[in-house]
Amino acid sequence: MLHLPLVLPPVALGYLLLVIFGTRAPVGAWLLDHFGIRFVFSWTGAALASGLITFPFQVRAIRSAVESIDPGLRAAAETLGAGWMDRLVNLTLPLALPGIVAGAITAFAASLGEFGAIITFVSNIPGETRTLPLAIYAALQAPGGEIEAARLSALSIILALVGLTLAEFVGRRSRLIGGR
């Protein structure tokens, strides 16, 4: 289930979010009535949609980082009397941190390109839910908007390269630290 957003069309996930978190949907109505939280047609909904779409990137990075930890270290810590919480906080999380950070950077960079779930769930409201891909789309829909679309596309390429470079740097650093 955690990896479903990798293969599910983003528009389908956006529709599911609308059905679940819409202001007339059971969960969405309850959140609005009890906590004043509204996801549909708001920036928080755009963040939720982006987060769900890119969540598998984070899960895969964390899983890989945790699985790469030598099980002997955990066994040694347990032998020395460390409980599961102590092992988690003082051993597993610090050793997995570079992978967690690399996954977060990759997921964030991927979320910058999310289009389908966001436009379906929160629409394309300037100043509220308009993301970079939606701004490119809007520019292409306007007469003479090609220059603006090209500028925004160049910005998205730069952001993607920075994000991927940062994630690769953190990933390599974690492999160097783990290889010592």
pLDDT per position as a tens digit, 11-34: 999 999 999 999 999 999 999 999
Could you tell me the residue range of the domain that residue 78 belongs to? 4-179
Q: Per the structure, how many domains does the chain have? A: 1
pLDDT per position as a tens digit, 51-84: 999 999 899 989 998 998 999 999 999 999 999 9
User: 131-136 long-range CB contacts below 8 Å, 24 or more apart?
Assistant: 131/46, 131/50, 132/156, 132/159
CATH of the domain at 38: 1.10.3720.10
| Those residues with Cβ within 8 angstroms of residue 42's Cβ, 6 or more apart along the chain or in another chain | 122, 128, 129
pLDDT per position as a tens digit, 81-129: 999 999 999 999 999 988 898 888 888 888 888 999 999 999 999 989 9
